[in-house]
Amino acid sequence: MFPTKTDKARDELQGGQRTLSQRERALLLMADGRRSLTDFSPLFSNRVEAEQAIQALVQRGYLQAPQAAAAAAPAPAPAAAPARPAPIAAAEPIQVATTSADTFDGKRSLATTRMFLFDICERMFVRRDPKFALQMRDALREARDREAMLTIAALMLTEIEKTAGVERAESLRERIDKLLPPAEIIH
């Protein structure tokens, strides 16, 4: 089964509404019709737990089989040619900062935090667990709001804690705290 999100799942992932656990929300974020049960297994302690979680979300109306989604959706419109990016003007030279991430004194923002999480994903998972890295990158790209992004961050930190230890996970959590605006700090 390659589950996809329903409208109810999309509503759940919008800001302000949280009725599911972080793990269930992460599962919703990753459900795109291209991932199978084995792709969701790293979020759970075993494959049976992952299957039970998916079935529960299907029964509650958050997920559906891709065939059901195709039957419910109207035929897609023909795809337009992709837009070409505008060339970058060479008006001003780009200045590169030479300070480390620990002395970051820029604006605290969700975008900065998101880029840091992509960096963590590349450094911590690409070689050790490329499949998990791909899942986390895709999930971060699909995260449309702060809560969704922080759910993925929590999953990454949990996996880092398992593989690299509590101290490493805590140090990364502290860095994330420094990048996030005060109201958005992970705990």
Output 161-169 pairs: Cβ under 8 A, ≥24 positions apart.
Answer: 163/124, 163/128, 164/124
Question: Where is 176: in which H helix or E strand?
Answer: helix 166-179
- Torsion sign (Cα): 132, 23, 150, 157: negative
SS3 state of residue 36:
coil
- pLDDT tens digits for range 119-174: 998 988 989 888 888 888 888 888 777 777 778 888 898 888 888 888 998 888 88
User: Which pTM was predicted?
Assistant: 0.49
pLDDT for residue 115 is more than 70: yes
The DSSP call for residue 187 is -
- pLDDT tens digits for range 40-98: 777 777 778 888 888 899 999 989 987 655 555 554 544 444 454 444 444 444 444 44
